[in-house]
Chain A
């Protein structure tokens, strides 16, 4: 199974700042996704990261707040912009190939 290195693993951020999370996969991946897990909740899809084009966002998530890049088949970034305490969550990237699903270790963000 492919391995995703995600960083940072955790961070404490000030309100109004932005943070970029990176995911590097050790092999090419067909699909990449970004999920958010708020405290005590299940994972919610933020967007599908499309290689070489704009991400596909789910209802309730917008590009200005969560810009995503995927320049190639092994790397993606998610930026959480203009953070507020409500953005305190675990953010996870996930990769899917046919018959295979794998996750990054997650980035636990706390916004003060």
Chain B
């Protein structure tokens, strides 16, 4: 069963700063998900990636399959980026996500004006 570690758990930064959140997992995967959860509880999928790098606006996600590590970067951070960012991977390699996901504990990000 896959285990997920995220760091840091909490991060407070000033508006405009470059943000990096890290995620490590224990078992080889087909794809990794980065999610954003706002205070109300709703979760939005930001990225699903299986190799290399993806970019969407000010968000960049990278993954190193060999090292079982992924990072989420936010450039020119803004107070509206304040949320919990969660990394998730398939529960097992053979499941490929069909048996659900294992989630990191999340990184609570606060961007101050």
Contact = CB atoms under 8 A, between A and B. Distances in A.
B100 A108 contact: no
B48 interface: yes
Interface string B26-51: 00000001010000111111001000
Contacts of B73: none
B100 A103 contact: no
Contacts, number: 54
Interface residues of B, number: 21
A106 B42 contact: yes
Give the secondary structure class of A's interface: strand
Interface size range on A against B:
20 to 34
Contacts of A104: 42
Nearest to B47: A101
Given A31-B98, A100-B45, A104-B42, 13 more contacts: A1-B45, A9-B40, A37-B41, A42-B86, A43-B86, A43-B103, A48-B99, A90-B41, A94-B43, A101-B33, A101-B45, A101-B101, A105-B41
Interface of B: 33, 35, 40-45, 48, 86, 88, 91, 97-101, 103-106
